[in-house]
Amino acid sequence: YGFFGLYRGLSVLIYGSIPKAAVRFGAFETFKNHMVDERGNLPPSGRMLCGLGAGICEAIFAVTPMETIKVKFINDRRKPNPEFKGFLHGVGMIVKREGIGGIYKGLTATILKQGSNQAIRFFVMETLKDKYRGGDPKQNVPKYIVGLMGLFA
């Protein structure tokens, strides 16, 4: 255990966090590009819908599989003789035994959670940015202000 025991399981967190953020922000920007008006403004309903879509994508492509895998790995480690020899081995065994559905347990609940979280988060963030810019989408928002808005959202 010791000092490095603090980092046990970090690889699974990294494997999940990077794709989760990529899917969340990539999906939001993709949906946003389809919903902005001719001036580049996203209406309030669009902010909410784009956030909802981002959350749903995040749930399907990143959160549900990673959370399900994480729980199965925790349960495996509690066994007297753990079976999983590493991340890829463990995922392979789960899929071999249970099919692809084995990594999608709880999908509906996760879609509801992530969809509502991101709908609210992106609505707040985009509304704050819009207020700061005075409705002009070309107006620059300094990075530290965006960071503060993100903290609030």
Question: Among 33, 32, 27, which Cα is nearest to 46's?
Answer: 32
Report the run of H or E that residue 23 belongs to, with start and end.
helix 10-35
Whole-number pLDDT of residue 109? 96
pTM: 0.83
Q: Left (φ > 0), alpha (ψ -120 to 50) or beta: where does 2 sit?
A: left
Q: Are 27 and 58 in contact (CB under 8 A)?
A: yes
Question: Among 117, 114, 124, which Cα is nearest to 146's?
Answer: 124
- Distances in Å between the alpha carbon of 7 and those of 3, 13, 14, 65, 101? 8, 10, 11, 21, 29
What is the rounded CA–CA span in Å between residue 100 and residue 108?
15
Q: Return the domain boundaries, the chain.
A: 3-105, 112-152
From first to last of its 153 residues, what are the pLDDT tens digits of the chain? Answer: 688 778 877 776 777 789 999 999 999 999 999 999 998 899 999 999 999 999 999 999 999 998 898 889 889 989 999 999 988 899 999 999 999 999 999 999 999 999 999 999 999 999 999 999 998 888 999 999 999 999 999
